[in-house]
Amino acid sequence: MNKDRFFTMDVDKRVEEINKMLVNSDLKGVAEALGIAYSSFTKSMQSGDYTYIARENQYFKFIRDKELLGTIKPSTKATTGFQEELTFIKENIETLKRLISTIDESPTLVLDKEIYNSKARYVNKNLKLNEAIYEKFSKLCENQFPHLKVQDLIAQALLSFTNDFQTNE
């Protein structure tokens, strides 16, 4: 497809062709390949009520539901959504209470910001550890903190130990 064909072809057919091109490219790449300024390309693609959906990397027809638009006011939509959420909370209040109580009972771990210091220099150290103690530590990390790196948890343990037992000399 070239620039002239792009501007003269039927809107629906143009969108179909552009969507095929978007399989292997992005919007800027397609505009460049056609020799059209990006802003002109995207503006032309909106004709015929087409809209670009970035997560799909495709153009889709925008469908207006006039019947729906005439009967529902924006504030009603917000109220309806709020009512649905409130109903859900009322129906599941006991489950939510149990969930919150288990969270409150479990220990929370907040890593010190010093561990994530972007200017920190890292070193490799070999440590000789009691196997049983390391296994307990490893299982704890895996079960309760799978989202954290073991190296950060060890750093936090060392920092906590240092802060607890360091004397101000």
Output the pLDDT for position 116.
86
Output the pLDDT for position 137.
94
Two tokens at 25? Answer: 């490219």
For 90, left (φ over 0), alpha (ψ -120 to 50), or beta? alpha
- Write the single-letter amino acid at 5: R
Output the pLDDT for position 1.
81
- 3-state SS, 66-104, equals HHHHHHCCHHHHHHHHHHHHHHHHHHCHHHHHHHHHHHH
Output the pLDDT for position 83.
83
Give CA–CA dist 146/52, Å, rounded. Answer: 38
The DSSP bridge partners found for residue 139 are: none
Output the pLDDT for position 169.
62
Residue 46 near residue 16, CB atoms below 8 Å:
no
The label of the residue with tokens 């890292």 reads: 122
Give the SS3 label for residue 58: strand
> pTM for the whole thing?
0.39
Alpha-carbon 49 to chain mean position: 29
Output the pLDDT for position 167.
83
Give CA–CA dist 139/154, Å, rounded. Answer: 13
- Compute the CA torsion angle 41, 42, 44, 47 (nearest 10 deg): 160
- Compute the CA torsion angle 157, 159, 162, 164 (nearest 10 deg): -70
Two tokens at 24? Answer: 């292997």
Output the pLDDT for position 102.
66
Each residue's pLDDT, cut to its tens digit, for the chain (169 residues) gives: 888 888 888 999 999 999 999 999 999 999 999 999 988 888 889 888 888 988 889 999 887 766 655 555 555 555 666 788 888 889 988 888 877 776 656 567 788 899 888 898 989 989 899 999 999 999 999 988 888 899 999 999 999 999 999 887 6
